[in-house]
Amino acid sequence: MKKKLIILIMIVATMLTLTSCASFERGMKDIKSELSGGLNRTVNIYGRNGDLIASYDGKIDIEDSDNCNKVKFELDGKRYIYYNCQVEVIEK
């Protein structure tokens, strides 16, 4: 009985530690974004010279790119894809 109580306390302590981690909170936010169709964000797209090309506001779901030279997202039922640009994403 004593061992079970100790194990239970250790499990609860571990869960409390994990749920208070910043990486856990970021992961939960990613899941929330995926399930709800995005988060309220501002997305700014900059060209190579640093000039602002476009800016978008709204509930935006962003798809990560493995090769880091493409960003793809959806807003109001339209899909946007930008290549070789600097992208700034700000959550509201």
More confident residue, 54 or 24: 54
Cβ 12 vs Cβ 52: under 8 Å = no
Contacts of 57 (CB under 8 A, 6+ apart): 41, 42, 43, 92
What tokens appear for 5 in the block?
């109580």
pLDDT confidence of residue 3:
76
Percentage above 70 pLDDT, the chain: 88
Query: How much is the average pLDDT of 57-78?
Result: 85
pLDDT digits (tens, 9 = 90+) for 20-36: 677 777 777 777 777 87
* Dist CA 68 CA 47 (whole Å): 15
